Amino acid sequence: MTRRIIQTDNAPAPVGPYNQAVVASGQLVFVAGQIPLDAETGQLISSDDVVAQTHQCMANLKAILVAAGATLEDVVKTTIFLKDMSDFGAMNGAYATYFSDQSAPARACIEVARLPKDVRVEIECMAVIS
């Protein structure tokens, strides 16, 4: 995969672990939104802890990407759905541990009225693999 980070002073700088845009070539992988379910038990992870839930969502995304022949380094876009935007700081801190500033994907974060199983966070991604 070829990957080029787009960064311009003519648009607002990112306010978190993401980039303004990523140009990539290769095969596209679209990973469905992941909620914090443990694959082994089928149970939700910590219903009130958005940090734990974010880590589980990322673990689920990572497992699916590996099955597709990709890694988190191949992710070019994520969308995060939060039940409550007041969880943004905690979620953002957990999310930041998965991507470096130089290679972080583009990202959107949206507050929604409700998520499946009343979780606090759901994350989907798009990746490009060679």
- The answer to whether residue 125 is catalytic is no
Answer for the pair 111, 82: CB distance below 8 angstroms, yes or no: yes
Task: Give the active site residue among 31, 76, 109, 127.
Answer: 109
| 58-85: burial string, b at 16+ Cβ within 10 Å, e else | bbbbbebbeeeebebebbbbbebbbbee
Residue 15 structure tokens? 């306010």
Those residues whose C-beta lies under 8 Å from the C-beta of residue 43, and which sit 6 or more positions away, are 37
Bridge partners of 4, per DSSP, are 23
Q: Which residues are catalytic?
A: 109
